Amino acid sequence: MAAAMRSAVLNSTGVMGFLMLSCCAMMMMMMMMKGSDAQTTYTTFAESQYSNQFVIAWEPSNVWVVNDVLELAVTEASGTAVQSVNMYLFGYFRVGLKLVPNDSAGVLTAFYLSSGGNAHDEFDFEFLGNSSGQPYVLQTNIFAAGVGGREQRINLWFDPRADFHTYTVIWNPQSVSMYVDDVMIRVFQNHENEGQAYPNSQGVGVYSSSFEASSWVTQGGKVPIDYSQAPFVSSYSNYGIDSCVFEATSPTACSNPPAGTWWNAQEYQSVPSYRVTQLQWVKTNYMIYNYCTDTARYPTPPFECTAPLF
């Protein structure tokens, strides 16, 4: 689903349209939709700390900054997205995210890295909106050279609406690992020697988006979005990127991380025993779907499902 969203984002004609919005117009819109609060500081996106790292890719009227927290809203008119100014190859990518409160059925909130194009590389955190009282489901997926279909779903072991939690990708020439707070939830390792594609040559952009996806996102599409609960607002803070900026004119400049680069240390190229324990804990207690065990889709499990961790 993130791939479809990415296409809409990159084809948008309004990438920099937010620059045309006046501060007063934005302030009025935010106050009307959020309500007045004398203790709350509202600013435009252009005035925030994120403006030199990200641009609004889709629907600027649904992007707010409140007390220096970036908020993305879904309304009956539209969802929205922001994307990084730069592209990156390998590194550390982190976001603090507090999800849509109350009933968010039909709303998809995503934080992901993607290169674009048919043979794209992509790493997804996709949060599937839930009906009130139901667990919040996190779906992850990994694409390499355009091949995805690697969905895993877990029930989060905390309420992601109550406070900010950290979602991280660490990516180097040997491994892609994904974390919730400091818990490793999945890993995809480099098996190019065995003929499996691995993401190691395409720069990726960093994206955050939120939009209506009632056709599939909540209980397989059984629960549609309820716009009487709108706006559906997800909150972002504490972005962190430590990476090589990828330039298309010099595509190999980032291919070999410098010696001493922390996210390319052996601990992140392989899976230490304590991380294996974390992976097993998540799988045993919280995983509700794993493409590796879906024999209807994959009568023979994909290679990475049976390859031993290194």
Average pLDDT, rounded, for the chain: 88
Q: What dotted CATH number matches 2-306?
A: 2.60.120.200
Please, are residues 73 and 233 in contact by the beta-carbon 8 Å criterion? yes
DSSP letter string over 154-200? EE-SS-TTTS-EEEEEEE-SSEEEEEETTEEEEEEE--GGGT-----
pLDDT per residue as tens digits for the range 286-309? 999 999 999 999 999 999 999 999
Active site residue 122: yes
Asked if 63 and 79 count as a contact pair (C-beta separation under 8 A), the reply is no
Active site residue 304: no
Strand runs (DSSP E) across the chain, as ranges? 42-43, 54-58, 63-66, 69-74, 80-84, 88-98, 107-114, 122-128, 137-143, 152-155, 165-171, 175-180, 183-189, 205-212, 232-245, 287-290
Q: Please state the domain extents for the chain.
A: 2-306
Catalytic member of 59, 71, 76, 122: 122
pLDDT given for residue 39 in this prediction: 63
pLDDT digits (tens, 9 = 90+) for 169-205: 999 999 999 999 999 999 999 999 999 999 999 999 9
How much is the average pLDDT of 125-152?
Answer: 94
pTM over 0.75: yes
Strand partners, 74: 232
Write out the two tokens for 291.
């493409």
Catalytically annotated residue among 59, 126, 212, 304: 126
Q: How confident is the model at residue 88 (pLDDT cuts 50, 70, 90)?
A: very high
